[in-house]
Amino acid sequence: MTNERREKIESVLSKRQNDLTVVLENVFDPHNISAVMRSCDAVGIQEIYVLNTKIPRHKKWGPRSSSSAAKWLTVHQFENTNECFTELRSRYSTILTTHLSSDAVSLYQLDLTKSVALVFGNEHSGVSEEIIQLADGNFMIPQVGMIRSLNISVACAVSLYEAFRQKNHAGHYEKQKLDAEDYSTLYTQWELNHE
């Protein structure tokens, strides 16, 4: 591995944010999942959750797919909602869904500098009622157009970049957030990715 690559890995790891994650609930289209993963990588999210209770476990990504952002992320797959939420609760302070309900607040009213998991739902049915009940709140991306639906990869990117903007402003990218053990584990794994 070249020095340049080593410095790149160190730079990226030093900016990984362990207080922000994305949960994809029954998101079906591999292109959407792939686009979401690229956005996660771009804003420094390391861990994401894939919860499939209604569709089969995904097999499309993995370390063999060089074009995928998956090899730079830690992807947790669940088929059981309660198990997924137990883990989310142990690691993030707040869980928010994106759901166009009457009590949804605007993305721009959220404080995304705090520890938070953002849940995005299925392309057609959205976030399930079960998840909405289990979560702490809803948010929506304001829209003023004739068509009121954004693609999930677009909605996720807009949400994650608002988090990026707030976190950047609050200095979250200026000091390392990963603890020494996580940093070291990922470093070793990413070195192997390059071989």
For its own copies, give the closer residue by CB, 161 or 183. Answer: 161
Residues present in the chain in total: 195
Cβ 84 vs Cβ 49: under 8 Å: yes
For its own copies, give the closer residue by CB, 57 or 175. Answer: 175
Binding site for its own copies (CB under 8 A): 8-9, 11-12, 15, 35, 38-44, 69, 72, 108, 141-151, 153-154, 157-158, 161-162, 164-165, 168, 173, 190
Q: How far is the CB of 44 from its own copies (least distance, A)?
A: 5
Sign of CA dihedral 35, 101, 49, 187: positive
Q: How far is the CB of 151 from its own copies (least distance, A)?
A: 6
Q: How far is the CB of 94 from its own copies (least distance, A)?
A: 21
Q: How far is the CB of 115 from its own copies (least distance, A)?
A: 18
For its own copies, give the closer residue by CB, 43 or 96. Answer: 43
For its own copies, give the closer residue by CB, 43 or 135. Answer: 43
**Alpha helices, DSSP H only, in the chain?**
3-15, 30-43, 81-91, 129-134, 152-169, 180-193
In three-state secondary structure terms, 17 is strand
Sheet of 20-25: strands edge to edge?
74-78, 47-51, 20-25, 116-120, 94-98, 137-140, 105-106
